[in-house]
Amino acid sequence: MKSSTDPLNITEELLDVDLSAIGSPPEPIFSDYLEMTSLVLMFIVGAPLNLAAYTQHNK
């Protein structure tokens, strides 16, 4: 990292990012697909149940 002329100005050092160290995002693994499937299923089942409970509660 470069040293700034002003010792109190650390913004330049914080924003100095080495782009070669970033790399690519990690590949998804089986548990990622399993988690997304369970979240979608919970939404598909839970949304109508919550709507039904809400409509029954307000009667």
Flag the least confident range among 12-16, 32-36, 52-56: 12-16
Residue 23 lies in a domain: no
Instruction: Give the pLDDT confidence score for residue 22 in this predicted structure.
Output: 72
- Quote the CA–CA distance of 57 and 3 in Å, as a whole number: 64
* Domain span including residue 35: 28-58
Q: Which carries the bigger pLDDT value, residue 42 or residue 27?
A: 42
Residue 9 lies in a domain: no
With 70 as the cut, is the pLDDT of residue 3 above it? Answer: no
Structure confidence at residue 52 as a pLDDT band (50, 70, 90): very high
Q: Which carries the bigger pLDDT value, residue 15 or residue 57?
A: 57
Domains: count for the chain: 1
Residue 54 lies in a domain: yes
Dihedral sign computed on CA atoms, order 6, 12, 18, 22: positive
To the nearest 10°, the Cα dihedral for 12, 14, 20, 23? -150
